[in-house]
Amino acid sequence: MVALIQPANAETIAAAGRLLAEGQLVAFPTETVYGLGADAGCDRAVAAIFAAKGRPRFNPLIIHVAEATEAEALVAVDDRARHLMARFWPGPLTLVLARRSDAPVSLLASAGLDSLAVRLPDHPVARALIRAAGRPLAAPSANRSGRVSPTEAAHVAACLGGKPAMILDGGPCRVGVESTVLDLTGLHPTLLRPGGVSVEDLTNALGEEPHAPPSDVGVKAPGMLDSHYAPGLPVRLGARAAEPGEALLAFGPVSGAATLNLSPSGDLEEAAANLFAMLRGLDRPEFSAIAVAPIPRHGLGLAINDRLRRAASPRPEGQS
């Protein structure tokens, strides 16, 4: 059984909002990737996300709101957070902040931590859906845990089948990589996951460069597991050419043949938007592996390299 893909309009968004209020799952577009949404305050609905994704229980979820003011009912918003919200929200920035004791969010969604990851997405369908549901939504990427994130409605259907009650189709995702996750629970801001907001832009807004997380930080936000965003085939990084049997995922001008090219002109924004769809497109039985060309390590290149590193990491036992 495959979930019904519906074109996102006022009628289908209203229907999806009712499904969420009933405790069901709905997949929906954001500017980054498609999310698998549930009522963040309903333990059973949040548990259904983990079950649908096969997601480790210690991996917390991002809570999505429709307006910045709604975050203040969930987390302690200090001056730093307020400044970043004004600068980057709505947009692909997730902030990890101290959880309010009366936050109407399932403890399962935050993996039992005393912090919450919150975000205001920059997509009209996502924000309309949150309003229609009348509650914040817990929403990781709408794929099986550890696999390639979906950037089109069809990707969700292929990966999750009938697990969502509905898939709202808002077209391809504009950014194409997940949100940047910034931890503000400590004295210094800590970058937990690079993403759609560049480190350079964060540094300019903060007046200091975000710190790297300590090695013993544990999993405080989505996307921190070593092996993540992985296709079924092995991924080989830093490839100048494909070896026999491999598919080549190129970047920039190439002299030889490339199976697919993230951006022939070397545009990192174009590459980010194409990344997950092209990894999916090359994950085919006629290839033995996916060879990926080097990607510059600045701007969105940091997020792209982070996703590729995790895609190429050794898989935990039982994950293929």
Does position 242 have pLDDT exceeding 50, yes or no? yes
Mean pLDDT over 128-140 rounds to 97
Best-predicted range by mean pLDDT among 4-8, 55-59, 144-148, 228-232? 4-8
Lowest-pLDDT range of 48-62, 142-156, 188-202, 236-250 = 48-62
| Average pLDDT of the chain to the nearest whole number | 90
Q: What's the confidence (pLDDT) of residue 221?
A: 56
Mean pLDDT over 114-121 rounds to 96
Distance (Å, rounded) from C-alpha 270 to C-alpha 26?
28
Mean pLDDT over 297-318 rounds to 80
Distance (Å, rounded) from C-alpha 291 to C-alpha 28?
31
Kindly report whether the peptide bond that precedes residue 214 is cis, defined as omega within 30 degrees of 0: no
Does position 125 have pLDDT exceeding 80, yes or no? yes
Tokens of 44: 């059973």
Q: What's the confidence (pLDDT) of residue 32?
A: 97
Q: What's the confidence (pLDDT) of residue 216?
A: 58
Does position 222 have pLDDT exceeding 90, yes or no? no
Q: Tell me: the pLDDT tens digits for 49-63?
A: 988 888 655 578 999
Does position 177 have pLDDT exceeding 70, yes or no? yes
Element at 182 (helix H, strand E): strand 180-183
Lowest-pLDDT range of 47-51, 138-142, 204-208, 287-291 = 47-51
Mean pLDDT over 180-200 rounds to 95
Mean pLDDT over 290-315 rounds to 87
Which string of DSSP letters, residue by residue, matches 243-305? PTTEEEEE-S--SS--SEES-TT--HHHHHHHHHHHHHHH--TT-SEEEE----SSTHHHHHH
Q: What's the confidence (pLDDT) of residue 318?
A: 46
Tokens of 283: 């994950």
pTM of the shown model: 0.81
Mean pLDDT over 42-53 rounds to 88
Q: What's the confidence (pLDDT) of residue 97?
A: 97
Percent of all residues in the chain with a pLDDT value above 70, rounded to a whole number: 91
Does position 319 have pLDDT exceeding 50, yes or no? no
Domains with residue ranges and CATH for the chain? 5-206 (3.90.870.10), 235-312 (3.40.50.11030)
Beta-ladder partners of 42: none
Q: What is the DSSP letter of 194?
A: -
Does position 192 have pLDDT exceeding 70, yes or no? yes
Categorize the per-residue pLDDT at 320 as very low, low, confident or very high, splitting at 50, 70 and 90: very low
> How far are the Cα atoms of 72, 103, 130, 247 from residue 22, in angstroms, in the given order?
25, 20, 14, 44
Q: What's the confidence (pLDDT) of residue 44?
A: 87
Distance (Å, rounded) from C-alpha 195 to C-alpha 302?
8
Tell how far CA 222 is from the center of its chain: 8
Q: Tell me: the pLDDT tens digits for 276-302?
A: 889 989 999 999 999 999 999 988 788
- Give φ, ψ of 141 to 5 degrees: -65, 145
Mean pLDDT over 138-155 rounds to 93
Q: What's the confidence (pLDDT) of residue 30?
A: 98
